Structure 1
Amino acid sequence: MTDQTPEFLNDMPQLAPGETFQFRCHPGVDCFNACCSDLNLMLTPYDALRLRRFLGLSSRDFVQRHCMVSAGRDLGFPLVQMRMLDDARRSCPFVRPEGCSVYGDRPGACRTYPLGRASMIDDDGEMKEYFFIVREPHCNGFLQEGNWTSGEWLKDQGLEAYNTANDRYMRLMNRWKKTGRPLDERQVNMAFLALFQPDDFQRFVRDMKLFARVNADEARQKAVLEDEEAALAFGVDWLELVLLGESEGLEKK
């Protein structure tokens, strides 16, 4: 995956801090559900975790049923894309006439719409985020009452946990990018396990006695083995430690 964020932002009209936009989506809008088809929807590790946990699927079953997996061309990190239905509209498998059937755990990109969010790490290592409005010809949500700043919209759509997890993942990829090489096959498999298979990763942590090799207090060890979100956060730290020799959130013993 090539980082084209700077070039992309130069071509998009950004939403200034405090600037508002008008939008509301509900079943009464005549275009309701129109945006839920013909998508090239990439799933982040946190997206995948939330979706499959809601569906009650193992990570392996979720990927087999609902995803297409590839490796990023430049960095080599696994790319997971939602598989659309094989119908005339290439519909999302979770859309229903009454709306999204996984609404409470829908992916971050769906939550952010009609905003787009681009994040990048500056020269000082600080995460910067930028917002722009995605205006599609079919969307009449912009004609509905409701004014939002970007911050108000993110809060209303429950994006804090998504953006926190996704930005931590981006920091890992940004650090790896500086090495100038893609992941090799073994590293790709390792990354997929830690990022997109937290249930299997929990077993890996236990069976390989990983806590004997890193500094993690008892509370974190317990959380990692019992809570998949904690396992995902640990997986990002562990990958950073294994790939780069040091991590923001984990140390070797």
Structure 2
Amino acid sequence: MQTTKLNADSILPLTCTRSGTCCFGKAVMLNPWEIVCFSVAKKITPREFRDLYCDFGGIQLIFNGKENKKGQKSCSQYIPDFGCSVHEGRPLACRLYPLGRQIQFDKAEYIYEGTDFPCLTDCADVLNLPKMSVGKYLKGQKAELFENAQDAYLQVMQNIADIGFELFLDSGLAASGDTKTLQTWRILGQETPELLALRIGKEWMDALMIPEINEDNPIAFAQKHNDLLLLKAQEQFGNISTLEELHNASVLMIALALHLAKGLGADTKGISEHWIATAKSFGSKE
């Protein structure tokens, strides 16, 4: 689908009618810090919020509420005739809507899908409200901290993948002539989040999505989380030596990185293909 790129000065009909139509039929992806923010607003633990209101180990918000006229179910946090029950804890996807955010060459760009502005489909009355710049809208939505979290977790994703690369390239596994590891990486990039979560398993899924960290700053939170994940990997894989063990460990790390990528809204198929091409550039085979 065609996308329209924006900058901070772009003027759009972003003054919200607060009709709640955007709270139906969406796929809202989450990172670990956003689960914490939700849980604080809900006054429950991150584990409780994840288990009650998220799918696939925590990377997607459940939409199982009242249906609208189109048959679309509302977000699990939406209350009819009231709105979002945890508005202060809402994630970046909700703060940006109807805009999206993509990162290319280390630069973030704001976009919306299609050539027609999305809000005009269900909320045409926004045309009667004042327009505002993208920058002013994002400031009002207090999006900056959540953008920082998103960017920090993109780095965590890459750091997890780097462990998968080390277990494959630096251990002798790739040099042994192994071909099934890269083949499995390709499968991972195309798997549904449900299958990927099952492959990862509960222990590592909990470590990935609900770390026990007390930190209000999202960048510091992500860094502490990164360190916990690296320590867990070192403890679990530091003494393995057989090719089968190395294969399984490498696949697990790449699965974790791709599952986190799904929660960040990234193109997991494209990422896995890029990682495979990188491994092949070092002489690996598939």
Same fold (TM over 0.5): yes
Provide the rounded CA distance (Å) in 2 between the counterparts of 1:139 and 1:177. 42
CA contact (8 A) 2:54 2:61 kept: yes
| Structure 2 unpaired stretches of 5+ | 166-181, 189-195, 239-286
CA contact (8 A) 1:43 1:82 kept: yes
Following superposition, the deviation at residue 25 of structure 1 comes to: 1.1
Q: Secondary structure at the match of 1:62?
A: helix
Provide the rounded CA distance (Å) in 2 between the counterparts of 1:162 and 1:129. 13
CA contact (8 A) 1:50 1:105 kept: yes
Provide the rounded CA distance (Å) in 2 between the counterparts of 1:38 and 1:13. 22
CA offsets 1:40-92 (integer angstroms, 9 cap, x no match): 2112222211011111112222122111115xxxxxxxx62111125433111
**Structure 2 counterpart of 1:63:** 50
User: Which AA in structure 2 matches 1:95?
Assistant: Y
CA offsets 1:165-222 (integer angstroms, 9 cap, x no match): 1111012223545637469989765653344223xx24xxxxxxxxxxxxxxxxxxxx
Is 1:193 the counterpart of 2:238? The answer is: no
Given the superposition, is the C-alpha separation of residues 227 and 138 from structure 1 closer, same or farther in structure 2, using an over 3 Å criterion? closer
Following superposition, the deviation at residue 243 of structure 1 comes to: 5.6
Following superposition, the deviation at residue 39 of structure 1 comes to: 1.8
Provide the rounded CA distance (Å) in 2 between the counterparts of 1:66 and 1:234. 25
Given the superposition, is the C-alpha separation of residues 184 and 41 from structure 1 closer, same or farther in structure 2, using an over 3 Å criterion? closer
**Structure 1 counterpart of 2:118:** 135
- Pairing partner for 2:138 from 130, 150, 154: 154
Provide the rounded CA distance (Å) in 2 between the counterparts of 1:194 and 1:144. 47
**Structure 2 counterpart of 1:250:** none
**Structure 2 counterpart of 1:18:** 9
Is 1:145 the counterpart of 2:158? The answer is: no
- Pairing partner for 1:80 from 39, 55, 59: 59
**Structure 1 counterpart of 2:245:** none
Following superposition, the deviation at residue 105 of structure 1 comes to: 1.3
The equivalences for 1:157-196 within 5 A come to 157-177=141-161, 179=165, 181=185, 192-196=205-209
Provide the rounded CA distance (Å) in 2 between the counterparts of 1:241 and 1:158. 33
**Structure 2 counterpart of 1:98:** 82
> Which structure has the larger Rg over C-alpha atoms?
2
CA contact (8 A) 1:14 1:130 kept: yes
Following superposition, the deviation at residue 112 of structure 1 comes to: 0.5
Q: Secondary structure at the match of 2:111?
A: strand
Provide the rounded CA distance (Å) in 2 between the counterparts of 1:237 and 1:141. 48
CA contact (8 A) 2:17 2:126 kept: no
Given the superposition, is the C-alpha separation of residues 184 and 143 from structure 1 closer, same or farther in structure 2, using an over 3 Å criterion? closer
Identity %: 26
**Structure 2 counterpart of 1:35:** 22
Is 1:116 the counterpart of 2:107? The answer is: no
Given the superposition, is the C-alpha separation of residues 160 and 141 from structure 1 closer, same or farther in structure 2, using an over 3 Å criterion? farther
CA contact (8 A) 2:13 2:130 kept: yes
Following superposition, the deviation at residue 99 of structure 1 comes to: 2.1
RMSD: 3.3
Structure number with higher strand proportion: 1
Q: Secondary structure at the match of 2:102?
A: strand
CA contact (8 A) 1:49 1:196 kept: no
Following superposition, the deviation at residue 100 of structure 1 comes to: 1.7
Given the superposition, is the C-alpha separation of residues 101 and 156 from structure 1 closer, same or farther in structure 2, using an over 3 Å criterion? same
> What TM-score results when the alignment is normalised by the length of structure 2?
0.57
The equivalences for 1:186-225 within 5 A come to 192-198=205-211, 201-202=212-213, 224=214
Following superposition, the deviation at residue 148 of structure 1 comes to: 2.8
Provide the rounded CA distance (Å) in 1 between the counterparts of 2:110 and 2:3. 9
CA offsets 1:7-26 (integer angstroms, 9 cap, x no match): x7xx3111145222122113
**Structure 2 counterpart of 1:3:** none
Provide the rounded CA distance (Å) in 2 between the counterparts of 1:228 and 1:192. 22
User: How many pairs were matched up?
Assistant: 195
Q: Secondary structure at the match of 1:174?
A: helix
